[in-house]
Amino acid sequence: MDHYWSMSEPLLVSKRTSTTHPIVPVLLTRVTSTGQLADQYWSHFPLIDLAMYRLLLALFLLTTTSLSARNLDSLMQAYGLVEVTSLAPRIRVELKYATRDNFIGANMYGSLRKAYLHPNLARALARAQQALEREKPGYAFLIYDAARPQSVQRRMYQAVAGTPKKIYVAAPERGGRHNYGVAVDLTIVDAAGKPLDMGSPFDHFGEEAHLGDEGALVKKGVFAPEVPTNRALMKRLLGAEGLRPYDKEWWHYQERMSMPEVRKRYRLLDF
């Protein structure tokens, strides 16, 4: 298994040697390609210049972050997943869990920027994109989340444990549909790249995100009149390709298949 190294800021203690520079202890950490701790130990290095050290440390962390993203890409591919835009280049990707703009408020994906899905779902989404372009030239699907490693699911589950939000995160032991690469969170953007009004933001957990009562919410003044039409457009296009929404999240689509069947047919992303 591949390994890579990270290191901590030196302790603010040092000792003089026969050289002209102080020696500082630095904690070296070796982790596996799946992010698990392998071992740690202290080593000593001459400290030529603290500012230079911090610059080198920043460059090192930037490199390991980039390696981590490439590592996730490699693992997704090794598990048979497809990078969505390789099939549908006009689909846009903005992974919300690679930012702090999500219900957890933390970056869970590091520098990962590509969306991966099981080939069945990726091909269905590519066909839906073609249908969308025929009906609405210049419009595109915008992906907010796709395949999600089990390790990320575990961190998300821990982040919401003991809060009302825990009902929205599948337990990591067996995983949810995202952890098998067979669920996608998305919306539609217009020709100018502006997301259509779907009634609530992504990751909004409340009745505004639920499907089925759009007309009543328009009458109450909660929804703009175009919201039901926008949601219906996405539901119709994705439904024509065998995908169905989760009724409490307008953005979440999946195959028409029970969870036991998903676990039977597909591979858990256990990395």
Q: Are strands 22-32 and 15-16 parallel, antiparallel or unpaired?
A: antiparallel
Model pTM score: 0.77
- Per-residue pLDDT at 213 exceeds 60: yes
pLDDT in tens, 47-69: 555 566 566 555 444 444 444 55
Per-residue pLDDT of 107-130, as tens digits, reads 999 989 999 999 999 999 999 999
How far is it, in rounded angstroms, from Cα 62 to Cα 64?
6
Q: Distance between alpha carbon 69 and the CA centroid of its chain, in Å?
A: 11
Owner of token pair 């217009």: 190
DSSP 240: T
pLDDT band at residue 164 under the 50/70/90 scheme: confident
CA distances from 136 to 21, 225, 264 (A): 67, 19, 37
Q: Rounded to the nearest 10 degrees, how much is the dihedral formed by the CA atoms of 149, 187, 210, 172? A: 0
Residue 142's DSSP bridge partners are 92, 187
CB 115 within 8 A of CB 148: no
Paired with 6 in beta bridges are 29
Residues 6+ apart with CB under 8 A from 103: 165, 168, 203, 205
Strand pairing class (15-16; 3-7): unpaired
